[in-house]
Copies of this chain bind each other. A is one copy, B any other.
Amino acid sequence: MAGEKSFLIGDLPGLTPQLGRLVSMMRYVRDTTRDAVAGLGVDELDYLHDRESNSIGALLAHVAAVEEWYQAATFDGRRLEPSDMGEWGAALDLGEAARREIRGRPLDAYLIRLSAVRERTLAELSSRDDAWLEERSPFWAGAPANNHFKWFHVFEDELNHRGQIRWLRARAARPGNISNR
Residues of B within 8 A of A166 (CB): 160
Q: Which residue of B5, B29, B52, B152 contacts A9 across the interface (Cβ within 8 Å)? A: B152
| A97 touches B (CB below 8 Å) | no
Copies of this chain per assembly = 2
Rank and list the top 5 A-B pairs by shortest CB-CB distance, nearest first.
A163-B163, A7-B145, A160-B163, A159-B159, A9-B148
Could you tell me the distance between the alpha carbons of A134 and B170 in the complex, rounded to whole angstroms? 36
**15 further contact pairs, Cβ within 8 A, besides A7-B144, A9-B148:** A3-B141, A7-B139, A7-B143, A7-B146, A8-B136, A8-B146, A9-B149, A10-B146, A10-B148, A18-B21, A29-B156, A53-B167, A156-B159, A159-B160, A160-B160
Residues of B within 8 A of A64 (CB): none
Residues of B within 8 A of A149 (CB): 7-9, 24, 28
| A25 touches B (CB below 8 Å) | yes
| A99 touches B (CB below 8 Å) | no
Interface string of A1-15 (1 = CB under 8 A from B): 011011111100000
Give the interface SS of chain A, mostly helix, strand, loop or mixed: helix
Could you tell me the distance between the alpha carbons of A24 and B171 in the complex, rounded to whole angstroms? 35
- Give chain A interface residues in 120-161, CB to chain B under 8 Å: 133-134, 136, 139-141, 143-146, 148-149, 152, 156, 159-161
Residues of B within 8 A of A29 (CB): 156
Could you tell me the distance between the alpha carbons of A167 and B53 in the complex, rounded to whole angstroms? 8
**Cβ contacts A to B, 28 pairs, < 8 Å:** A2-B140, A3-B143, A6-B143, A7-B140, A7-B145, A7-B146, A7-B149, A8-B149, A9-B133, A9-B148, A9-B152, A10-B134, A10-B148, A21-B148, A25-B152, A25-B156, A28-B149, A50-B171, A52-B170, A156-B159, A159-B163, A160-B160, A160-B162, A160-B166, A161-B163, A162-B163, A163-B164, A164-B164
